[in-house]
Amino acid sequence: MYELAPSRRRLLAGALAGGIGAAAAGCLGTGSDGDADDGDGPELRLSLSRIDGTLRDRYAHDRDDPPEGWDEAALDAVLAGESYTTQHRKPFFASPDDPAYVLRDGTYYQLGSVVVDEVVETHPVLRLFEPDDDVESAVDASEDGDLPEGDQRAVGIAHFAARARGHDGGYPLGLVERGGYVYRAESARTESALLDDGDPDHVTYRDTTYRVEIERERFHEAVYRPTAEAIAETPERMEAILRGTFVGSRITSDDLSAEARRIVRGADGEEYSETHPYSDAYVELLRAIDARPYIDGNILNDADVRETEREMIRYDGEYYERSLRILEGEDN
């Protein structure tokens, strides 16, 4: 129901982490490749997921079919060279590390925005807490309940923060703000039943009853001006730009030994893993995909190293999302 817009360079394979198949069996089992020793170091798992089609299919949107989250008025204005601004919200959710692209009349544009001002606004903030006492009545905040749609969304988002408060786990950044939900849209404030005088003190959501707290708080919000730069006149040029932007290592099967190619086949759509020290073939492949730091068994002590790393690579002319995950201790 609620969708974030994480950086595609870091999280291009968001579904990969949750949808990877079981580890390859038989000769592709953990640590069984070639002359690998029975290691007792961290386990390194490699997964590859083939990307169908071109990068243009994934990243370049047709002017008549923009993503749902884009501000279409901003898109119309910037392509027409007209003045337009948005407040708090980037018009295309784009940044230098995570650009957006659109195709109009045969020309590809890179979209973005720049900050041109700052304003101070006061918005109501909804937070949910455990009730102080027994609750005699509460308003149903589910989709089948009595609250307007804007309030349902507000409660659903504030619920994430209430659920995480005092417990392990987190909540979706970008949706939850200041520990609750911020009513920014004028229409949501006008139609709200929770913001009215004599508003309900308690709501029920997902079989849990919460105490409602509303505070009106000040926010400093950036003002954005959308930008569009023409960058390509042909599909081939656009594909080259996207490769340069998103693709890391480029290798072919001819670059690899037979054992390293076998690891690639085992990791394609599934998983391959070994424990440190790794086999010669695994080390060869890690070097080929520019994952040299992972050859070191003490990589978790190095700076700027994540337990899971994802990157797009090109192998034999096709695009793949590759994921490297380090496991140790009980996870190993």
* Every domain of the chain and the residues it spans: 17-55+240-331, 64-104+107-232
Residue 17's pLDDT is 36
Residue 188's pLDDT is 93
CA-to-CA distance for 307 and 300, rounded, in angstroms? 7
CA-to-CA distance for 185 and 139, rounded, in angstroms? 22
Contact 211, 129 (CB under 8 A): yes
Signed CA dihedral, 207, 133, 179, 190: sign only: positive
Say what the pTM is: 0.76
Residue 65's pLDDT is 95
Contact 66, 58 (CB under 8 A): no
Residue 299's pLDDT is 72
Residue 304's pLDDT is 58
Helical packing angle, 280-288 and 258-267, nearest 10°: 70
Residue numbers in the chain where pLDDT is lower than 50? 1-37, 330-332
Residue 305's pLDDT is 60
Q: H or E segment at 78?
A: helix 72-80
